[in-house]
Amino acid sequence: MNKIIDKHDLSDDLLEEIKIASMVIPFRTNEYVIDELIDWEQVPNDPIFNLNFPQKSMLKYNHYKKLQTAIIEDYSPNKIETIKEEIYKDLNPHPGGQICYNTPEMNGRKLTGIQHKYRETVVCFPSEGQMCHAFCTYCFRWAQFIGKNDLKMSLNNPQFLIDYLQNHPEVQEVLFTGGDPLIMKANKISKYIIPILEAEIKHLKSIRFGTKTLTYWPFRYVSDSDSEEILDIFKKIVDSKIHLSIVANFNHPKELKTDILKAAVKKVQSTGAIIRTQSPILNNINADKEIWIELIRKEVDLGMVPYYMFIPRDTGAKEYFEVPLVDAFRIYIKAIRKLSGLCRTIRGPVMSTTPGKIQVVGITSIQNHRVMALKFIQGRNPRWVGRIFFAKFNRKATWLNDLEPALAKKFFYEHELIKYLHPYGSSQIDKVAEKNLESEEITGET
C-alpha cells in the first residue's frame, strides 16, 4: 500500500475506506494491475480500481460502521476477530450450498477439495492453488482467502481425485479452480496433471482451468521462471488427446489492451489449448452494453471463445455489484445484436444457483401475463437441462430467489430438488437421477 501511496495521490478518506473495507473483503494487488491496468486519473471511478480495491460502498452501512468503530476505539484483536466472524456469516460465504450439497464421498471419506454437482463434471480445488495474483472485490470464492479452514475447499492428495474419477465413468471433465489454479508453480501443477494423464482414464475427455492469470499476471506464460514448463504441461494434455480449455476471466476490455496480455494469449494458444472467456455482469464495472460489445469483440479478435456472462452470486459485496436480471438480459441481447455470429457463443445472463445453472432467455407475455423465460443449462438432475420455465416479470429481481413462478404454484424442479440435496453430493444421488431418467423415458416426459 505504501508504494501506491507514494506513486498516486489518494485522499486520506479513500485510504481509510480501503483499509477498513479490506478487513473483511480480501485485498491483494500487484504492480502490473497498478501500473498497467488502473487509470489513476479516473480513480475512484476506474473499473479496474473497483474490481481490485475494497471500498466503503461495498459493505453494508452497519458492517462498515462496526469495523470503523473497532479501529477508532482500538479494540483488541480478539474482539475485532469476533466482529469479522459475524460479518463473514452475513456475507453468505458459500452460495448455492456448494460445501454442504456438492462435496462427494469416497470410502466413507468426505472429499472436501472436490465438488461434484453436475453429472459430467468434477471440480477440483488444489490446495496450492487457493490464491490469486490479485483479488477481485466481487469474488464469490472470497471464503478461500480469509484463513478459515472450516470454510475452505482444498485438496492436497491428487490420488483422491484420480480414484474418484476412476470410480465415476459418468465424469467427462475435470475443472481445476481456486483461487486460481494457474498461480501454482509448474511442478505443483504437474503433481495433479501428470498422474491423471498416466492413469489413462478413458472417459475423461477434457481438462479445464478456471483462471484470471491472463488479466492479473500475463507474465505467467511469457517470462516467469517456469513459463515454459507450464506451457509444456498444456502441450502434454493436448498430446494425450484430452481437450484443454483455459477459461479466462475478463471483466473489462481494459484488461485486454496490453502487449504482454496479447503475447500470453498467443503462447497459451500455441500449445493447442482453447481459451474460453467468462465474466459476471457487474454494476460499477461493466454493466453497459458498449463495454460488453467491446469486450466480446476483442476476445474474439484475439482468437478466444466467449463462453459465459454470469450474474454475480448472492455473496460478499453483492449489493454493490448486482444488476437486475431484466437489465442484464437487455444488455446481453443488445450486445449480441451488434456482434457477428462468431461472437454469439457467449451464454447469458446465467445464474449459478443451488438447483443448477439457469439462463434468462427472454421476456415475453403468455395469456396476458408478463413473464421471464428461464432455461436450465446445467442441472443437479441432468433431466432438467434444456427445460424452459417461467417466472413472473420482476423488474427488481437480481437472483432466482427473488422470482415467483408464473402460471404455476411452484417451479417445476422444486418438488424434486430435495432429493438432489444430499449432504455428500451427486456421487450419492446419481442413482436417484438415473432412476428418474428411466422413469421419465418410459413416460415420455420432457
Chain residues in the site for ligand SF4 (CB under 6 A): 132, 135-136, 139, 141, 178-180, 212, 249
Q: Looking at beta carbons only, is 132 or 300 nearer to ligand SF4? A: 132
In angstroms, how far apart are the furthest CA atoms of the chain? 71
Cα(23)–Cα(391) distance, integer angstroms: 38
Pairing of strands 347-352, 305-310: parallel
Cα(304)–Cα(324) distance, integer angstroms: 28
Q: What angle do helix axes 227-239 and 259-269 make, rounded to 10 degrees? A: 30
Q: Looking at beta carbons only, is 114 or 136 nearer to ligand SF4? A: 136
Q: Looking at beta carbons only, is 212 or 252 nearer to ligand SF4? A: 212
Cα(242)–Cα(193) distance, integer angstroms: 11
Q: At its nearest, how many Å lie between ligand SF4 and the CB of residue 47?
A: 14
CA distances 42 to 37, 46, 48, Å, are 12, 5, 10
Q: How many CA atoms lie within 13 A of 167 on its CB side?
A: 14
Q: At its nearest, how many Å lie between ligand SF4 and the CB of residue 19?
A: 19
Cα(25)–Cα(49) distance, integer angstroms: 14
Q: At its nearest, how many Å lie between ligand SF4 and the CB of residue 131?
A: 8
Q: At its nearest, how many Å lie between ligand SF4 and the CB of residue 279?
A: 10
Cα(211)–Cα(175) distance, integer angstroms: 11
Q: Looking at beta carbons only, is 145 or 376 nearer to ligand SF4? A: 145
Complete DSSP assignment for 101-167: HH--EETTEE-TTEEEEETTEEEE-BGGGS--SS--TT-TTGGGGSS-GGG---B--HHHHHHHHHT
Q: At its nearest, how many Å lie between ligand SF4 and the CB of residue 26?
A: 7
Q: Looking at beta carbons only, is 139 or 328 nearer to ligand SF4? A: 139
* C-alpha dihedral, 306 to 311 to 317 to 321, nearest 10°: 80
Q: At its nearest, how many Å lie between ligand SF4 and the CB of residue 275?
A: 15
Q: At its nearest, how many Å lie between ligand SF4 and the CB of residue 276?
A: 15
Q: Looking at beta carbons only, is 66 or 141 nearer to ligand SF4? A: 141
Q: Looking at beta carbons only, is 54 or 104 nearer to ligand SF4? A: 54
Q: At its nearest, how many Å lie between ligand SF4 and the CB of residue 417?
A: 27
Q: Looking at beta carbons only, is 125 or 390 nearer to ligand SF4? A: 125
Task: Please give the single-letter amino acid code of residue 170.
Answer: E
Q: Looking at beta carbons only, is 132 or 268 nearer to ligand SF4? A: 132
CA distances 133 to 122, 168, 183, 214, 298, Å, are 24, 33, 7, 10, 23
Q: At its nearest, how many Å lie between ligand SF4 and the CB of residue 212?
A: 3
CA 140, chain centre distance (Å): 7
Q: At its nearest, how many Å lie between ligand SF4 and the CB of residue 178?
A: 5
Is 432 in contact with 417 (CB distance < 8 Å)? Answer: no
Q: Looking at beta carbons only, is 178 or 379 nearer to ligand SF4? A: 178
Backbone phi, then psi, for 192, in 5-degree steps? -95, -45
Range 343-382 burial, b when 16+ CB lie within 10 A, else e: bebbbbbbbbbbbbbbbbbeeeeeeeeebbbbbbebbbbb
Q: How many CA atoms lie within 13 A of 98 on its CB side?
A: 25
Within 10 angstroms of residue 38's Cβ, the number of other Cβ atoms is 22
